[in-house]
Amino acid sequence: MTNQMFPADRRSFAKQLGLASAGIAAFFAAAEKGMAAITDVDIVQFALNLEYLEAEFYTVARTGKTIDSMGIGIDGTGPTGPTTGGQKVTFIENSTLAMSADQIGADERAHVALLRKTLQSLGIQPVAKPMINLNALGTGFESQEAFIALARAFEDVGVSAYGGAAPLIQDKTILGVAARILATEAEHTGNLRLHAALYQAQTKALDAVDMPPLPTGMKYISVDSNGLTAVRTPGQVLNIVYGGQVNAVSGGFFPMGVNGGINMSSAAATATS
C-alpha cells in the first residue's frame, strides 16, 4: 500500500524537480521509516527545542541575559537545565547588524512563546528548555563576525529543519504555523548571509548540503539550481547540533539531549546531486 504521507505522485513530482537523487531518496526513506512513531505533537516539541536554542543565543549575545529573565516560559516536561556559556557581544550600536540581531532575537523568543501556546491549546504540556551550552563550538560571542557566523548556521539549519519536517505534518493548522515560522527563519538567514558578506565573516560548511555565504562560499542566497533550500530530517538536524555525532542522544549545544520523542541523531545529510 502506498504511504499516505508520501504518495507516488509526490515522488513523481520530486523527480520532475530533479530531486530524485540518492540524497532525496534517503530523506524520504528516513522520514517514512520514522513516521509511524512520529506525531505532529512530536514535531512541534522538536521545533520548540531548537527555538529555545536560537532564542537563548540571540538573547545572551545582545543582553547577556537568558530568556527566562525576559519573561519567556521554559518549564514543562522532560529534564531541564541551565543555559551556560556565551556572553554579551560588543556590537556597533545602531548598526544594521545590531538592529537586525535585536529583531531576530525578539522573533525567536516569540517563536518559543507561540509553540508553547500552540501545544497548550491542544492540551499538551510543552517540553521544558533542556540544558544548553552556548559555548559548544568555542565561538560565536568574541566578535561581531563570530556572532554572524554562528547566527547564520543556526538560521540555515532552522530553515532546513522546518522544510524537512513539513512533509511529516498532517494537521493543516500546525502546518500553516510551521510554514509561517519557516518564512520568518528564511528572512533571518537572508539577512545574516548578507551581513556575512558585508562584514567578511568567515563561515564553514555544516555538512554536504550546506552552502556557506560569501566570503567563504559563492552564494548570497542558499538555494540549489531549482531555487530550493536544503532540507534535513530531524536526525540530520540533531547530527549538527549534537556536534556531528551519529546515533547520539546528547552532545554539542545540548549536553543532556533535547526533550521529546524526537531526540536521536542520524548520519549527516549528504549531497543531493
From 199, 235, 230, 229, select the one nearest 215 (Cα to Cα). 199
What pLDDT score was predicted for residue 272? 62
Q: Looking at the domain that runs over 39-232, which CATH code has it been given?
A: 1.20.1260.10
Mean pLDDT (whole number) for 36-59 = 94
119: confidence class by pLDDT, cuts 50, 70, 90: very high
What is the pTM assigned to this prediction? 0.88
Quick one: pLDDT at residue 203?
A: 97
pLDDT computed for residue 23 by the predictor: 43
**Is the CB of residue 151 less than 8 Å from the CB of residue 57?**
yes
Say which residue the cell 568555542 belongs to. 138
- What residue type is assigned to position 56 of the chain? E
For residue 37, what pLDDT is reported? 75
Distance of CA 269 to the CA centre of its chain: 14
Alpha-carbon dihedral sign for residues 240, 241, 244, 250:
negative
- Give tens-digit pLDDT for 146-177: 999 999 999 999 999 999 999 999 999 999 99
- Average of per-residue pLDDT across 208-216: 98
What pLDDT is recorded for position 36? 52
Contact between 84 and 56 under an 8 Å Cβ cutoff? The reply is: no
The yes-or-no verdict on residue 273 having pLDDT over 70 is: no
Residue 261, C-alpha cell as written in the block: 520523542
Contact 168, 38 (CB under 8 A): yes
Cell of 18: 530533479
Q: How is the chain split among helix, strand and coil, in percent rounded to 5? A: 50, 5, 45
Q: Where are the domains of the chain?
A: 39-232
Q: Identify the band that residue 42 occupies on the pLDDT scale cut at 50, 70 and 90.
A: very high
Per-residue pLDDT, 271 = 87
Check pLDDT > 50 for residue 16.
no
Q: Which residues contact 133 (CB under 8 A, 6 or more apart)?
A: 83, 84, 85, 252, 253, 254, 255
* 204 pLDDT higher than 70: yes
Q: Is the pLDDT of residue 10 over 50?
A: no
Tell me what percent of the residues of the chain surpass a pLDDT of 70. 86
Tell me what the mean pLDDT of segment 89-94 comes to: 96
Taking residues 237-249, report their average pLDDT: 98
Q: What is the pLDDT of residue 96?
A: 98
Q: What confidence category does residue 24 fall into, taking pLDDT thresholds of 50, 70 and 90?
A: very low
Cα 72–chain centre separation: 19
Per-residue DSSP letters for 117-132?
HHHHHTT-PPBPPPPE
CA distances (Å), origin 184, targets 105, 162, 195, 208? 12, 11, 17, 24
Averaged over 232-260, what is the pLDDT?
Answer: 98
Q: What is the mean pLDDT of residues 84-110?
A: 98
Q: Among the ranges 12-21, 25-34, 200-209, which has the highest mean pLDDT value?
A: 200-209
